[in-house]
Amino acid sequence: MTSSQGSGGPWSDLDRPPLNATSLRRALVLPGGLWTSLDVVATTGSTNSDLAARAGELPEGAVLVAEEQTHGRGRLDRTWSAPARSGLFLSVLLKPGVPAERWGWLPLLTGVAAASGLGRAAGVDLSLKWPNDLLVSVGGEERKTGGILAERAGPDGVVIGLGINVTLREDELRVPTAGSLLLADAISTDRDTLLRAVLRSLAQWYGDWIQAGGDPEASGLQAAYTAGCATLGRRVRADLPGERVLEGEAIALDDDGRLVVATEGGGTEAVGAGDIVHVRATA
């Protein structure tokens, strides 16, 4: 399905206008700023794959946005698809000059940045499901409206993909647990405004984190993620490789961004995003 199906379709071009690439570049690609280029393409398979393929020739701060992704990917190669121009589908290239063991914080940093940027621009409260989901409330129910995927790109680069459902209606959602900013009663669904807010917020958080040498505590990142994380304080069931299951209460994030779970026996166990097959809240 595309966002425009002629005059008889449920959506017209006016309902889902294209992004204004020239205006976005003027607002975001600034001397001395993080973002060094911004390209908008009509359609592609995966912005992460496209940007990763060019990571060696591009400077840090390259941004690639697609009006439509046909093979968008999430963690564990899960698929992500949506009607054209119904959301924000983008990837950014970062080359963090901080110890590589701290790079695991980048998807969490992106979540904090996106939630704060969208919260201001869309007037919607977003929460974070560890390790890579953005949640909104639709009719009192938590629903996933965004996902994050970070991938190594060459020896010194990381490509971070971000997909956000903006104007999807109930009948366009592929699963009942999905949501959108529109369904969460956003005060604005203008994608140019939302994209500017997300990228400005990401540049600010990333700059603070780099300035702190990637230290999540000194940069305020650890505290911000903890404050906005809907997973903490809940009983969770984590499916791990080898059919191992971990159950208990999610109580904290450690200094490496791992989820600390208090187990039934009174101990604790920290699990990293790379170890998780699935994590879900339980009653």
Length of the chain, please? 283
Average of per-residue pLDDT across 211-236: 98
Q: Is the pLDDT of residue 12 over 70?
A: no
Average of per-residue pLDDT across 215-240: 96
Whether residue 13 contacts residue 4, with contact meaning beta carbons closer than 8 Å, is answered with yes
Question: Does the domain made of 232-281 have the CATH classification 2.30.30.100?
Answer: yes
Average of per-residue pLDDT across 135-145: 97
168-189 per-residue burial string, b: 16 or more CB within 10 A, e: under 16:
beeebbeeeebbbbbbbebeeb
Between 5-9, 108-112, 157-161, 201-205, the lowest mean confidence (pLDDT) is in 5-9
Task: Find where tokens 């009663």 sit.
Answer: 185
Give the pLDDT score at 5.
39
Average of per-residue pLDDT across 14-36: 96
Give the class (CATH, top level) of 21-227: alpha beta
Percentage of residues in the chain having pLDDT higher than 90 = 82
Name the average pLDDT for the chain.
92
Give the pLDDT score at 241.
86
Q: Is the pLDDT of residue 73 over 90?
A: no
Give the pLDDT score at 74.
55
3-state class (DSSP) for residue 29: coil
Distance CA 149, CA 186 (A): 24
Give the residue among 90, 88, 116, 89 at the shortest CA–CA distance from 208: 116
Residue 276 banded pLDDT, cuts 50, 70, 90: confident
- The structural domains of the chain, with segments of one domain joined by +, span 21-227, 232-281
